A and B are shown apart, each in its own frame.
Chain A
């Protein structure tokens, strides 16, 4: 008999981590990532988001506590690490540090080759990843000829080609212009619809509010709040503690609501929803 899959695909249980210079980056953090959802980590620089992500992928090993993937504790043996890294892919913030190969196609093939797939399969995956990220035209280009936005796409394709179950993206929209950022978030939506769990970190609360299914707030290596976006962003004391602004959507919605200019009692999550609420009331 096949049992129901557990609701959390990745879990960190009471993990602590200090870097070699004794800076405590993570302080007894417990996190459960819901399967198939889009989870956002928000927090100021130095909150420990990247350090936590590196734990999810087995690059860093916690000083205390444990990481579980699919309910199984990661043992940091060669085999279990490979299994974890095959299923949990990280797109790093600066694509410059991720790209090493001379051509885009070779760059993307690195992951699948490491997975030991047959050649045809690798070619298929590379082509698919390039098509999904819209970089098929750059196939044979040397990586140093690409623009920043293109490099970011290649970095994402790098991981997509490995077809992970969990896709982690550190600051996906950092340094990108509005158009590229929107395209990348659309791409994540698309990937998410195929059943891939998505985790990302961001400073952009408006983005997190509109886009995430679940939110963790981090500060000084601790989780200081978690929950559904509509819950988190209406919790004023919590926001004050993290020194975060409220999403503009909520401010405007509350103001309009006070004046009785919006129809629904359900707070809008996107610009379109808010406009819809106002139009409904007016008509």
Chain B
């Protein structure tokens, strides 16, 4: 990911995207269609963002533009450099996103947290992450339950009741979450909680083979990127 971000050669980004997609779909066994749908999400944002980069806006000078039209005394259009920047930016961002997807689709949260702990991140940060991660699911579940109970009583029958129900849902979710956190604190206390959420970390054997593959791939990407840049 860092290589993808640091080297602005489109070819590196493209390679990273393909590599990640390959690993996720074939080794990670994520359905290709699902992955494609996931990739489309950031793609929309990217297209919108990149379009504004691709178009430049300048007074007079029209000969630099590949294509453009006049608007008053100004020209709005696409230049060769802006197009190149846009293309590089698009691929670079997509490459970075694909790396993030790779991480979130293949690595369970527990392992990410374990790595962060190994990197000596402050325990407060890690504990917060643990709790946030757990509570995302608790809140989703609670919201889902409230939603079902509301709709089963015609809570979303008309626009007016929908607004009201949604407001109630939001407010209730907050108080329920607060209550839940209080209960959690009690249950933690009951288990000798002393201010630190310490748990047993799993031990991961260092795989030399995996490490070697990892280094080789990164070096290859780096070399390719530098070569194309030169």
Contact surface of A with B, Cβ cutoff 8 Å: 54, 57, 59, 82, 85-86, 89-90, 92, 94, 96-103, 105-107, 109-115, 119, 122-123, 126, 140, 142-144, 158-159, 162
Complex interface: chain A residues within 8 A of B141 (CB): 144
Asked if B70 lies at the interface with its beta carbon under 8 angstroms from chain A, I say: no
Q: Are the C-beta atoms of B109 and A96 separated by less than 8 Å?
A: no
> Mostly helix, strand, loop or mixed at chain A's interface?
helix
Closest to A145 in B: B137
Number of interface residues of B (CB under 8 A): 29
> Mostly helix, strand, loop or mixed at chain B's interface?
helix
Q: Are the C-beta atoms of B113 and A59 separated by less than 8 Å?
A: no
* A111 partner, pick from B109, B184, B192, beta carbons under 8 A: B192
Binary contact readout B156-197 vs A (1 if CB under 8 angstroms, 0 otherwise) = 000000000000000000000000100110111111111001
Q: Are the C-beta atoms of B109 and A113 separated by less than 8 Å?
A: no
A86 to B229, CA, bound (A): 63
- With contacts A97-B180, A114-B194 known, is A107 near B187, CB below 8 A? no
Q: Are the C-beta atoms of A106 and B199 separated by less than 8 Å?
A: yes
Closest to A141 in B: B108
Q: Are the C-beta atoms of B190 and A89 separated by less than 8 Å?
A: yes
A106 to B134, CA, bound (A): 13
- With contacts A113-B198, A126-B200 known, is A59 near B110, CB below 8 A? no
Q: Are the C-beta atoms of A115 and B200 separated by less than 8 Å?
A: no
Asked if B131 lies at the interface with its beta carbon under 8 angstroms from chain A, I say: yes
Q: Are the C-beta atoms of A114 and B134 separated by less than 8 Å?
A: no
Complex interface: chain B residues within 8 A of A115 (CB): 192
- With contacts A86-B192, A96-B138 known, is A110 near B180, CB below 8 A? no
